[in-house]
Structure 1
Amino acid sequence: MATKKIFPTKSSSSLIPWLGIAFIVMLIDQLSKITITRTFQLGEEKFITSFFNLVLAYNKGAAFSFLHNAGGWQRYFFTGIGIAAAAYIIYLLKKHGGQRMFSWALSLVLGGAVGNVIDRLLYGHVIDFLDFHWAGWGHFPAFNIADAAICIGAALFILDELRRVNK
């Protein structure tokens, strides 16, 4: 008697490692934020090197505090965008799980997006703590592990597209 597989194993099995990477990114992000919030007071800085500090900052807006003073609606707006992006990324991972660099990029962006959505849902803001600066040039806006993962994922998207165009 022949059996028919209802769910194709290739696409669902290739999704698991990419979701695992996203989960690890989200976990490291959340653990680092818990550590910082238990160690620092809001606005407190700790000098690490001549170009890097740790600081506890809250961001109610998006990247670079965009819309941070918008009155509160932005929390729900950016949470919705994060959830929609996560759903679309999971769809793309399921469809393109065999494309390694593309899937790495998606996984990093997914883990970062979920990490920041968790902050917005639990606290109403994103916890930032990485503060890079250059003598005389001022400080780059504080960010977190999730933001770094999203940026690295975006860079991998660009690199993947450049490689694809050159083929």
Structure 2
Amino acid sequence: MQLTAKVAGAILILDQVTKYAVVHVMELDRKAAIDVFPPWLNFRMAWNQGVNFGLLSHESEIVRWGLIVLALAISGWVWIWVRREPHSVPVHASAGLLIGGAIGNIVDRIFYGAVADFINMSLPSWNNPYSFNIADIAIFAGAAGLVLLTGKEEAPRKGRTGNSR
């Protein structure tokens, strides 16, 4: 569980530091757009009140707090689930990614009223209209890791004491 907590903490810090730097220090909230390495990497300010790609986006306080409660419930469930059964290191790391990312977006919803998305990646012939953040990357990677890696672990054998002959 220490690994899960350390990964979650590292993602939360990385997410919040990058958001603060880009939104407040680089003033993306005022400029709305900063070309970093166009068209491949740009910063485009997007205040996401919903979930991925703005789904369930609504200015209602009920939706905002409902999404906070939902993210807390999912994070809590993942934490308890990982803690109850033995899992591999990659599964613990995946759980930490998901939990840290979810908490990062919860912090945004509490302080900003919406999630601060700013990373935009496009191609020379395609302008991506969507932005995301470090927390979104961590949530996606963590969820993918949990789906792909859980169940691939060797089940502990009963009756073994750890001594081999």
The TM-score, its normalising length taken from structure 1, stands at: 0.81
Aligned length: 151
Matches within 5 A, 1:42-121: 42=30, 44-49=32-37, 50-69=39-58, 71-96=60-85, 98-121=87-110
Query: What stretches of structure 2 of length at least 5 have no aligned partner?
Result: 154-165
In the TM superposition, residue 70 of structure 1 has moved relative to its aligned partner by 5.4
Query: What stretches of structure 1 of length at least 5 have no aligned partner?
Result: 1-14
Q: Give the distance between the partners of 1:55 and 1:87, measured in 2 at CA.
A: 31
**Aligned AA (2:56):** L
Secondary structure of 1:130's counterpart equals: strand
In the TM superposition, residue 17 of structure 1 has moved relative to its aligned partner by 2.3
In the TM superposition, residue 160 of structure 1 has moved relative to its aligned partner by 1.0
In the TM superposition, residue 158 of structure 1 has moved relative to its aligned partner by 3.4
Offset from partner CA, 1:2-42 (integer Å, 9 cap, x none): xxxxxxxxxxxxx1221011000001001111111212234
Offset from partner CA, 1:86-118 (integer Å, 9 cap, x none): 211221231235422221111100000010011
Given that 2:101 and 2:134 are in contact with CA atoms closer than 8 Å, whether structure 1 keeps it comes out as: yes
**Aligned AA (2:3):** P
Secondary structure of 1:129's counterpart equals: strand
Secondary structure of 1:138's counterpart equals: coil
Secondary structure of 1:48's counterpart equals: strand
Q: Give the distance between the partners of 2:87 and 2:148, measured in 1 at CA.
A: 17
State the partner residue of 2:144: 155
- Is it true that 1:22 corresponds to 2:1 in the alignment? no
The TM-score, its normalising length taken from structure 2, stands at: 0.82
Judging by fraction of residues, say which structure has more helix.
1
Given that 1:58 and 1:126 are in contact with CA atoms closer than 8 Å, whether structure 2 keeps it comes out as: yes
Which is worse superposed, 153-162 or 27-36? 153-162
Secondary structure of 2:120's counterpart equals: strand
In the TM superposition, residue 48 of structure 1 has moved relative to its aligned partner by 1.8
Q: Percent identity?
A: 25
